[in-house]
Structures are given as structure tokens and as C-alpha cells.
Structure 1
Amino acid sequence: MAVQTGKTLQSHFINTYNNLSVLGKVPSEELGVVLPHEHILVDYTTGLDTTTSFLNGRDVAGLPVTMENLGFTRRFMYSVRENVVLDEIEKAETEVGLYKTSGGGCICEMSVVGMRRKEHSFDDLARISKATGVHIVSTTGFYSESFLSAEIKTMSVQSMAELMKTEVAIGSGPMGLKCGVMYIACSDPLKETEKKALEAAAITHKETGVAIQVAPGRTTDLPFRILDRLYSYGVHGQAISMSHVDRAFSDCETNLKLMSDLCHRGCYINHSLFGKECSHYPCNEDFDFPSDAQRIARIKALVDRGCLDHLLVSHDIVCRNEWACYGGYGYGHMLDHIAPKFLNRGFQRATVDRIMRENPQRWLTCSEFR
């Protein structure tokens, strides 16, 4: 199908969009609890890390994900090849079904170009959604430059925008399934492809109204620079979510102020790594990964600073050891364990609902801010 551009594409989108899940229109109030950053079917082997010094040269890439290896796999989740691929459709149905049983309503599936399975098909997400009753929002966009092919790296800004607009407004696969959100992953310093992807996302947002999620690397100033860049392209802060803030900002007063400043500049911030509680962070050996309790304490401090309307939470499940069938918490962790902990730590029920329901629903339906 030829790519449609300009007013034709925008008109098509405006006539059909209402929080587009893989099964079609969903009124925002019917989404329920939303996990705004997860993976259901993904291939992260490009990010396989077998060089971390803590392995002491041990070759572990070929280890199976078994009970005997579970403790090791939890600590070095990105070093075991089998662990960084989620491709079992029936097990995915079971895992998403468990989330439904816990009270979940919607999952944003963030597997974009650079981390999609070779046999990637939005039709598989539709099958999982139908089988479980969970609304799944599929994602268009680009992962960080080191994950992308030479062909993608040579694309122009306009070509990248056309690809994303097509996946949003026209859809793909035999069923023409459409994407309802964008995701751009970035490095520090920003690579040229990532700069192009951010500009292309801004173009796509302004023509379609689809929200943007950004993975802003692992430094505390990059989210601000990315936000400035998106603002310069005319994107409204309510359309932007900065994901993975819990891998860059440590537990100190200075970083709490930075996160508060980021919220007050208008975007959402997503503590999107709940359930990852190993203090060893293989992607940055100098950084102590927080526990869920520390994440909750930080969110409470941000609420006290007036940031409630800008907070999102999720797990970023990307590895097998995070699925319940492989010994993990699964997608229900936020409802089964974190929501009760919020209440135990003095949050009001309405505050929890704001963070887990209302904020992500509002972010996903940001088209009014174009």
C-alpha cells in the first residue's frame, strides 16, 4: 500500500482515532489501569551484554532460563540470550491474562524498530488482546541507534515520519492493525539517527495527535535536552513521557529536585522499572539500582512537591525471567504488590488511581494539545 501523506493522511486519522488499540477504538475511560511501558513480544538480542566485568570472563550467553539458573539470570538478565527474547505466543496470552485477573485493563507494547522480532506481527498482539480481554496499544518508532540497521540509519527525517504515520493511520499486516503511541530511545550523547527520530516523532505527533514516549538514556541532564528539542518542534508537554527515570536519578535531594523540575516543565515522567530490584545494574555498573520501596518513597516525595499529575508507573518487562511462568512477578506486579504498598505508605486511593489510571489515560489521549 502506498504511503499517504499530508492532509489525506491527517483526515483519515482524525476520522478514526480514539485511543487506538490493536483491536480498534477504545474510549479512554474504558482502558482502566494502564501499564504505559511494557513488552509482550520482543527480541532484545542486539542488547545482549556478555562483557560486564562482574562475569569475570564467564561465557553465559547460552545458558537456559531454568529454575537452577534463575538467581543468576535475575542478576544478569541481559547476558543470557534466551532470556532477552519473548516470542512464545501462548505463554504471552497466559501472562497478559494474569494481568487481567489482577484487575489490569491496558498495556502499551513498546517493541519498536530495532527490537521487534524478525517475524514481528501486530496480528499476534491482536490475538493476545482477543484472548485476554486486555486492551493492547502497539507502538511505532525507533530504538536507539546502536540497535538499528544501516538502512534505517540512512533514512531521512521525512522518511522516518512517513513510516510512523503509516503505522499509526494506515496500519500494517493483513488486518491493517494500527499503532496508538510512539517510542523513541536515545543515547547520551544523542546520535544522529536519534535526533532524526525525535524530529520525525514531532512531525508525526503534530499530524496525528499520537503521544510520544522517550527513553532518555542514563544521565540526568539528557531528559531536559530532549524536552527542549521536542518543545522547539512544537510538541506539547502533555504528549511526552520520559521513561526509565529510575535508571538515571539516584535517591538524593538534588536528583529529586531535578525530577520535580522535569515534571514542572510539563511532561510526564515514568518510573517504568518496577519489579527490577537487583541492586546490580549491568548497563551501568557505577549506579545502584533502586528497590521498589525506594521507587515508592521517591514517588511520594514527588507527590508532596506537587507532581502528582505528571507521574506514570510501569515495569518494562523485556526478559523471560520477569514473566510469572519463569519465576518473575509478571505484568500484575503493579496491581498485586505495588498498589497495596502505595496504600500502606500513606497514599490515598484517589492518588493511586491518578497515577495508574487517569494520568496514562490522559497521556494517551493527548491529541487535544496539538
Structure 2
Amino acid sequence: MHHLRTVTGPLAAEAVTGPALAHEHLALDLTRDTDPAAALTTRHTTAVVDELRALRAEFGLGLVIELTCRGMGRDAAALARISRHAGVAVVAATGWYYERFHPAEVAGHDVGALTALLTEEVTSGIGATGVRPGVIGEVGSHGDRPSAAETRTLTAAGRAAVATGLSVATHAQLGRGGLAQLDLLTAAGLSPERISIGHQDLLDDPAGHRRLAAEGAYVAFDTVGKEGYQSDTTRLRLLLELLDAGHADRALLSCDISRHGYLAGEGGQGYGHLFRSFLPRLRAAGVDEDTVDLLTRRNPVRFLTAGAGTARTTAAPPRAAYQKEH
């Protein structure tokens, strides 16, 4: 029996009987001088709990994959409190976001040291909380090719995933650079089925989505409802194209709530936009309930558990990167 590593302890994969949100934030701080509202802090905890509890009651929400990592204002203790109060399982993360948000530790360490840092956190827990990450993410890059620093953090993420048995979820800025991320992670020895390439719904590139899925990676349509970046009409078209190409088993869905203004209580789309707005449109387009369950429950659980039993005491030797044209 496979188990998920949640903020409140191990959870049997079979115990997740309702849908999951594959890429969310419940507690984070990305505020900079230019963006002071990019936060979900303790001031917003009650609103977050209320939303998740309501989604559990109305739609059976069973799991949130929370991808706030190092340098993003991660708060593992808050995640544990939110999970308990909402009655929804939460998986916490480790890794590094894209370069703009790298903490100083990245510049001071090589790939080996960064790998060891992540592996230690997965093994021993986040700080003094005892909360152990259950996924590595959202490990980021921006542009068509990762920067030198992002190459190191992505490589470290891949090696740490091999060493610990966890899977990796990425942040591809505006959807770009996904194939390059896949190259780096597979070169570190990680199997594609343990990789989710993020924010692909922001990139109108059906052929690119098919390529990622054909390689075996998950294609994350994880900013559903963020109409300022992409219309849900376009997201729906792109998802239907991926499903029609036979890759329903490689799509992940979520809303990526990453600032308090997105909360329903503040007039935003909220964590429930996927269930209340987007999935009804998907059903109206002819997608059946078994496929909806695949997209929202079985796929995210399979993604998280794909490496179960494969953890190594030392990272595997790098395998040859897939040869791709960019």
C-alpha cells in the first residue's frame, strides 16, 4: 500500500476518496516592494480554513498539494493547523522557486550541497516542526532555458527526488521552458512519471503539451481561474486537445491561489473555482465522470506515489538526458 506523506503524518493513497488540488498555496509570502499583496499569512488562515472546509463538504475535497518552498515564506506549522482545522489532507513541499526568489543559500552552495540540504529536510523535517515534505516543488525557472542558478536548483531537486523517492513539481514561468526542465530532471536520474511541469495552461502550445505527456511527464493546468494571465476558455480548449490526444492520465488541475486577493472571502475566485466553474464547463464539453475523477483524484495521487519504494541511500548516477530540439 502506497502512502502519501502529509503534514499530519502518513496517509494511505486509497484513503483519498475525493478530488485533490494539485498546485496550491495555503501559507506563503512573496511580497516584495513592488508586490506587497502577494501573501497568505496568519491573518488569512481562518479564511483559508473556511474555504477548504466548505469544499470538503460540498465536493469531497480530500487533498491539497501545497507547493510553497524555501524562500517563498513557507510555514509548515501553519499548514498542519490548516489541515487539522479544515479536515483536508495537505502535502508540504521543499525546493527552490525561480531565481528572483532564491534565498542566499543558493548562491553559497554547489549542486551537491543543495541536494544534501533538500534530502536532509525531507528526511528530518522542516525546521523544528517535524513536518516532512511529501513533494519537491515548486522548483522554478524562467524563460526558455533555466539560468545557471536555476540549473543548479533543478538538478539538486532531481537528485534529491531520486534519493528520497519523492516526486517533483515545477514552476515554468508563464509556461515556458518545460522541456528544458524535463531534460534537467531526467538527466539527474528522475523518471518522467515523477515530474509535473507547471503552468502549462499559460502556454498556448498543444504540441508542446503532447510532447511532455508523451515523454511521460505530467502536464499541469494549474492556474485555472487566473483570467488576467489566460482565459479559462483557452485553458478548456488546451485541456480538451490534450485529452483528445489520449493523455488524460497525464494532466493535473489546480488554481494556484498565491495571494490573499484571490480568496473567495476577498472577492477572488478562491480554491473552489476549479469545482464550481471549470469542471462544469469540462463536463458540458462531453468529458465523463470517470475522466474527471482521473484528472482530479487518481492522477495527483499517482504523481505523488510514483516513486514509492524507490528511495536510494545515494542518488542514482545521472542518466542520459532526452535528446530534444528546442
What do the CA deviations read for 1:35-92 (whole angstroms, capped 9, x no partner)?
Answer: 111111111113x64xxxxxxxxxxxxxxxxxxxxxxxxxxxxx4x2x2111022222
Partners of 1:108 and 1:137 within 8 A in 2: yes
Aligned to 1:240: 195
Does residue 111 of structure 2 align to residue 157 of structure 1?
Answer: yes
Aligned to 1:350: 290
From 102, 106, 131, the equivalent of 1:148 is 102
From 116, 119, 124, the equivalent of 1:170 is 124
What do the CA deviations read for 1:251-284 (whole angstroms, capped 9, x no partner)?
Answer: xxxx212211111011001011101112xxxxxx
Worse-matched range after superposition: 231-240 or 188-197: 188-197
From 299, 310, 322, the equivalent of 2:250 is 310
From 195, 199, 221, the equivalent of 1:271 is 221
From 182, 197, 206, the equivalent of 1:256 is 206
CA distance in 1, matches of 2:79, 2:57: 18
Paired AA for residue 242 in structure 1: I
CA distance in 2, matches of 1:113, 1:351: 34
Q: 1:326-345 maps to which residues of 2 (within 5 A)?
A: 326-345=266-285
What do the CA deviations read for 1:195-225 (whole angstroms, capped 9, x no partner)?
Answer: 11111112111111100011123364x2112
Worse-matched range after superposition: 127-136 or 172-181: 172-181
Q: 1:283-294 maps to which residues of 2 (within 5 A)?
A: 289-294=229-234
CA distance in 1, matches of 2:263, 2:31: 17
What do the CA deviations read for 1:263-318 (whole angstroms, capped 9, x no partner)?
Answer: 1011001011101112xxxxxxxxxx332122122111111111111101111100
CA distance in 1, matches of 2:161, 2:103: 24
Secondary structure of the 2:219 match is strand
Partners of 1:145 and 1:153 within 8 A in 2: no
Shift of 1:18: 2.2
Aligned to 1:283: none
Does residue 10 of structure 2 align to residue 25 of structure 1?
Answer: yes
CA distance in 1, matches of 2:285, 2:14: 27
Paired AA for residue 165 in structure 2: G
From 137, 142, 147, the equivalent of 1:187 is 142
Paired AA for residue 61 in structure 2: G
Shift of 1:173: 4.2
Secondary structure of the 1:108 match is strand
Does residue 44 of structure 2 align to residue 104 of structure 1?
Answer: no
> TM (normalized to structure 1)?
0.78
RMSD of aligned residue pairs (Cα, Å)? 1.9
CA distance in 2, matches of 1:242, 1:35: 15
Secondary structure of the 1:26 match is strand
Secondary structure of the 1:45 match is coil
Structure 2, unaligned stretches of length 5 or more? 311-326
Aligned to 2:169: 213
Paired AA for residue 164 in structure 1: L
Structure 1, unaligned stretches of length 5 or more? 1-16, 50-78, 279-288
CA distance in 2, matches of 1:368, 1:143: 24
Partners of 2:49 and 2:86 within 8 A in 1: yes
Shift of 1:369: 8.2
Secondary structure of the 2:94 match is strand
Paired AA for residue 63 in structure 2: C
CA distance in 2, matches of 1:316, 1:125: 16
Paired AA for residue 57 in structure 2: T
CA distance in 2, matches of 1:325, 1:337: 17
Shift of 1:151: 3.2
CA distance in 2, matches of 1:367, 1:86: 31
Secondary structure of the 2:271 match is coil
CA distance in 1, matches of 2:118, 2:112: 10
Q: How many residues align?
A: 304
Aligned to 1:202: 158
Partners of 1:104 and 1:134 within 8 A in 2: yes
